[in-house]
Each structure stands twice: as structure tokens, then as C-alpha cells.
């Protein structure tokens, strides 16, 4: 457990700006969802925009680290589609 905490501290210091971008986007995503609550099209567009940003952020993050592989890109895409699917079930019953 100590090794994990040490690794996370180093990772946060090394890529603080990257994670701040993702965190800021997440906050705006949640604000947008609450602002347009009940408007199905706008909610879907906000979800789609956030997941697209998440995929682009993931690719950018791996390019910076020189660890970009097709496997990582597919993982980000699958996580984004899972988020869209889950949000569709929750918001658009």
C-alpha cells in the first residue's frame, strides 16, 4: 500500500497539469448536466463532449509519457462508451 501511495504522489507531481485539465472538465461536465437537467438532447451532447475530451486527453497523456499504444487508445474508447451507455441507462430510461 505504501508503494502505491508513493507512486501516486510521484505521478501527481509529474503530471499535475494533465490531471487538473481532466478534473476541470469533469467539474464542467457535472455542472452542465445539472444545468440542463431534463433536456435530453443537451444532456446527451454534454456526455458525448466529455467522453470525446476524455479520449483525446488519454491519447495526449500517453503521447507525453511516450507510452501510446493501440491497446491504450482502445481502452479509453471502451471506457468512454461504457460511460455513455451507463449514463444513457440512468438519464434516458
Q: What digits encode the pLDDT tens for the residues 15-65?
A: 899 999 999 999 999 999 999 988 989 999 999 999 999 999 999 999 999
Question: In angstroms, rounded to a whole number, what is the distance separating the alpha carbons of residues 19 and 13?
Answer: 10
The residue-averaged pLDDT of 55-77 equals 95
Angle at 88 between CA 84 and CA 93, to 5 degrees: 170
Question: In angstroms, rounded to a whole number, what is the distance separating the alpha carbons of residues 5 and 39?
Answer: 41
Contact at 8 Å (CB) between 75 and 55?
A: no
Which string of b and e fits 36-52 if b means at least 16 CB within 10 Å? eeeeeeebbebbeebbe
Contact at 8 Å (CB) between 73 and 59?
A: yes
71: confidence class by pLDDT, cuts 50, 70, 90: very high
Of residues 82 and 93, more confidently modeled: 82
Amino acid at each position: 500500500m505504501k508503494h502505491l501511495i508513493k507512486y501516486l504522489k510521484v505521478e501527481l507531481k509529474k503530471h499535475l497539469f494533465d490531471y487538473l485539465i481532466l478534473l476541470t472538465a469533469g467539474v464542467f461536465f457535472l455542472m452542465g448536466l445539472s444545468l440542463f437537467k431534463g433536456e435530453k438532447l443537451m444532456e446527451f451532447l454534454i456526455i458525448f463532449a466529455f467522453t470525446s475530451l476524455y479520449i483525446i486527453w488519454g491519447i495526449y497523456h500517453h503521447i507525453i509519457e511516450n507510452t501510446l499504444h493501440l491497446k491504450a487508445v482502445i481502452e479509453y474508447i471502451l471506457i468512454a462508451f461504457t460511460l455513455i451507455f451507463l449514463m444513457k441507462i440512468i438519464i434516458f430510461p
